Amino acid sequence: LVEITRQRTGHPLATLFARPARRATRPRPDAQACAALRAALRRSWSGKTVLAADPAIVEALEGPLAPALEEVNRRLGLALELAAEPGRGGYEFRQG
């Protein structure tokens, strides 16, 4: 009769998965900027529309995502106005 045993080197999986997250993670600014553009295309707009967002999101839309912003503006038939608001966690659309 032979018995095979395995030495456990770490914590049980149940303990690892039951732990709360150490810190909440936010999506990257470029991912949030793309989400804002997709949301803008799903809505119907009339008049002046402002996209109020975290400065990092606005920076992404004015930088590497500028062509995507231009395409969204073309499809909407109006220009989204960008407003950087420090301390804002994401983005919000305003009619005005």
What percent of the chain lies above the pLDDT cut of 90?
A: 57
Say what the pLDDT of residue 36 is.
95
Whether 51 is in a domain gets the answer yes
pLDDT digits (tens, 9 = 90+) for 53-78: 999 999 999 999 999 999 999 999 99
Evaluate whether 85 touches 54 at the Cβ level (below 8 Å).
yes
Whether 22 is in a domain gets the answer no
Domain encompassing residue 53: 27-87
Whether 11 is in a domain gets the answer no
Whether 6 is in a domain gets the answer no
Whether 17 is in a domain gets the answer no
Evaluate whether 40 touches 80 at the Cβ level (below 8 Å).
yes
Evaluate whether 77 touches 47 at the Cβ level (below 8 Å).
no
Q: What Å distances lie between residue 73 and 4, 8, 51, 70, 92, CA to CA?
A: 67, 58, 12, 5, 17
Say what the pLDDT of residue 29 is.
93
Whether 36 is in a domain gets the answer yes
Is the pLDDT reported for residue 26 higher than 80?
Answer: no
The total number of structural domains in the chain stands at 1
Tell me the HSE value of 55 on the side-chain side, using a 13 A CA sphere: 3
Whether 70 is in a domain gets the answer yes
Whether 21 is in a domain gets the answer no
